[in-house]
């Protein structure tokens, strides 16, 4: 079967599947979104009033609903879990990223309703993550060319290899995802772009430059540059907020991202001097994920670069000074001039990730780390020897003194011996509530908040049994 015929069959099958399955997914999502709309608006306004990022994504288990905005008179952006960008030329349409399959059909429908009916000539994929590639088959025509980074195929294989591992974690953090793992569909690009050499084409009088920009979300990241208009479509090279501390380590589980490669990417982006920056995710506080102004963009890119360099250098210095990883995590902070939102990536997690990136997982401290017997294997013995009441009493004292992490360590020992110990469950709930309040008032980090919410729900269920 010819390649375009395979594509046509696949598109037909996907559209049919969408008609049968996605209606209920969108219906359930919309129910939750409608219930949350007023709260989301209030959170956004409160955050903007304090010049802080809105925590809507962290507080609500709901994705942004699809909708289309015009970046300018020839670029249209469909919002959603990830954005889909459609660039109109006289000779056809260029698509940059295709969204997640939960929303891809609706994003495509809304985008095509805004533009003249023309063939899709190119689909450019910023990287292999499913929220940016899920709708790819829906956009393919007879002569459509798929463009991706040279490392894209390896990234797909890597993600496919740990698909079930990641699905369990992602489904925990992002509850709007399908309840069962979706079958992996491998994408075969027509053009592979390396980091050292751009791929350029001209269509309908408009110039396009595809550039490999690894670091922020993996080795296979690329961007789309429109040099005549000085517009940069960044994909996930800069994350969902701008400027933000990058997600060098993501707690949902993925390979650590090379910090020095990312610094190099940021230097190249700064040298391009973009005047319009189009992000890969819709963010409520920026209204559209589009940032405008050469000076503003340059300042933001420079700040991210300097922050990553600072954290990298401070971590290496701590390692060479003989400090422990915990000491480094507790002491490395961004200086005032580099302070920025940590809603997506956290400095403390980057420090731990950098430590393991440079030095490996064995820290030359605990012999037991070399063997498969964790500390919690002897928690029931500690509880028996120390006594449950004394451990609970000390944990309560820690919680009262504003030390929720100390309290959690002790109650976990108690609960290892008795999963339903009422006082330990209560103290654990209070400690998690303290950490959640702290996260919401300080970093707004999505992943941290989602994790704490999930843990709280588990404790609340245990308390009611």
CATH number of the domain that residue 68 is part of: 3.60.15.30
Exposed / middle / buried, residue 212 (Cβ in 10 Å: 0-12, 13-18, 19+): buried
Are 297 and 374 in the same domain?
no
Q: Is residue 267 part of a domain?
A: yes
Are 374 and 294 in the same domain?
no
Are 193 and 88 in the same domain?
yes
Are 294 and 440 in the same domain?
no
Q: Is residue 143 part of a domain?
A: yes
Q: Which of 261, 280, 304 is the last residue of a domain?
A: 304
Are 300 and 376 in the same domain?
no
Mean pLDDT by groups of 10 residues along the chain of 465 residues: 45 41 37 33 34 38 75 94 95 96 93 96 96 95 96 94 90 82 87 96 97 88 97 92 90 89 96 96 63 96 98 98 97 97 94 96 95 97 97 98 98 97 98 97 91 95 92
In the numeric block, which tokens belong to residue 445?
């980090």
SS3 of 24, please? helix
Peptide bond into 243 cis (omega under 30): yes
Burial 436-455, CB ≥16 within 10 A → b, else e: beebbeebbbbbbbbbbbeb
Q: Is residue 327 part of a domain?
A: no
Are 177 and 274 in the same domain?
yes
Are 38 and 185 in the same domain?
yes
Q: What is the pLDDT of residue 250?
A: 86
Q: How far apart are CA 91 and CA 204, in angstroms?
A: 5
Q: How far apart are CA 458 and CA 429, in angstroms?
A: 9
Q: Which of 304, 326, 345 is the last residue of a domain?
A: 304
Are 108 and 188 in the same domain?
yes
Are 294 and 439 in the same domain?
no
Are 120 and 212 in the same domain?
yes
Q: Which of 250, 272, 304 is the last residue of a domain?
A: 304
Q: Which structural domain, as residue segments, surrounds residue 416?
A: 367-464
Structural domain total, the chain: 2
DSSP-derived secondary structure letter, 201: E
Are 199 and 299 in the same domain?
yes
**Domain CATH code at residue 417:** 1.25.40.880
Q: Is residue 260 part of a domain?
A: yes
Q: Is residue 166 part of a domain?
A: yes
pTM, two decimals, is: 0.85
Q: For 221-363, where are the E strands, in sequence order?
A: 222-226, 231-235, 276-279, 290-292
Q: What is the pLDDT of residue 391?
A: 98
Q: How far apart are CA 133 and CA 217, in angstroms?
A: 14
Exposed / middle / buried, residue 465 (Cβ in 10 Å: 0-12, 13-18, 19+): exposed
């Amino acid at each position: 079967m010819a390649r375009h015929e395979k594509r046509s069959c696949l598109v037909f099958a996907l559209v049919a599947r969408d008609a049968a399955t996605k209606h209920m997914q969108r219906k359930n999502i919309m129910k939750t979104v409608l219930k949350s709309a007023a709260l989301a608006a209030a959170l956004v306004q409160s955050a903007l009033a304090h010049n802080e990022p809105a925590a809507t994504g962290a507080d609500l288990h709901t994705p942004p609903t699809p909708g289309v905005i015009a970046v300018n008179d020839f670029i249209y952006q469909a919002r959603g879990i990830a954005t889909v960008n459609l660039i109109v030329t006289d000779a056809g349409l260029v698509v940059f990223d295709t969204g997640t399959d939960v929303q891809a059909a609706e994003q495509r429908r809304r985008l095509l309703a805004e533009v003249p009916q023309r063939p899709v000539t190119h689909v450019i994929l910023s990287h292999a993550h499913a929220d940016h590639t899920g709708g790819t088959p829906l956009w393919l025509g007879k002569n459509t060319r798929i463009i991706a980074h040279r490392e894209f195929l390896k990234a797909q294989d890597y993600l496919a290899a740990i698909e079930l591992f990641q699905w369990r974690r992602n489904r925990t953090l992002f509850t709007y995802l399908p309840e069962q793992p979706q079958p992996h569909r491998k994408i075969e690009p027509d053009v592979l772009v390396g980091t050292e050499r751009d791929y350029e084409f001209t269509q309908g009088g408009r110039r396009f430059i595809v550039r490999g920009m690894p670091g922020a979300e993996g080795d296979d990241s690329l961007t789309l540059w429109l040099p005549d208009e000085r517009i940069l479509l960044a994909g996930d090279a800069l994350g969902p907020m701008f400027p933000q501390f990058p997600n060098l380590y993501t707690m949902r589980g993925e390979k650590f991202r090379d910090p020095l490669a990312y610094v190099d990417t940021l230097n190249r982006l700064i040298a391009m001097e973009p005047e319009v920056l189009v992000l890969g995710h819709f963010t409520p506080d920026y209204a559209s994920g589009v940032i405008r102004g050469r000076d503003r963009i340059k300042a933001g890119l420079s700040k991210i670069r300097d922050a990553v360099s600072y954290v990298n250098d401070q971590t290496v210095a701590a390692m060479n000074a003989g400090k422990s990883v915990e000491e480094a995590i507790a002491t490395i902070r961004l200086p005032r001039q580099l302070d920025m939102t940590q809603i997506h990536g956290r400095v403390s997690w980057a420090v731990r990730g950098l430590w393991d990136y440079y030095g490996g997982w064995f820290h030359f401290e605990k012999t037991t780390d070399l063997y498969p017997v964790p500390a919690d294997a002897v928690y029931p013995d500690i509880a028996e020897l120390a006594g449950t009441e004394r451990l609970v009493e000390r944990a309560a004292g820690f919680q009262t003194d504003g030390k929720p992490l100390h309290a959690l360590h002790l109650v976990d020992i108690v609960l290892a011996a008795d999963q339903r110990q009422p006082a330990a469950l209560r103290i654990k709930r209070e400690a998690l509530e303290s950490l959640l309040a702290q996260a919401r008032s300080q970093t707004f980090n999505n992943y941290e908040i989602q994790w704490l919410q999930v843990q709280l729900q588990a404790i609340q269920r245990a308390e009611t049994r």
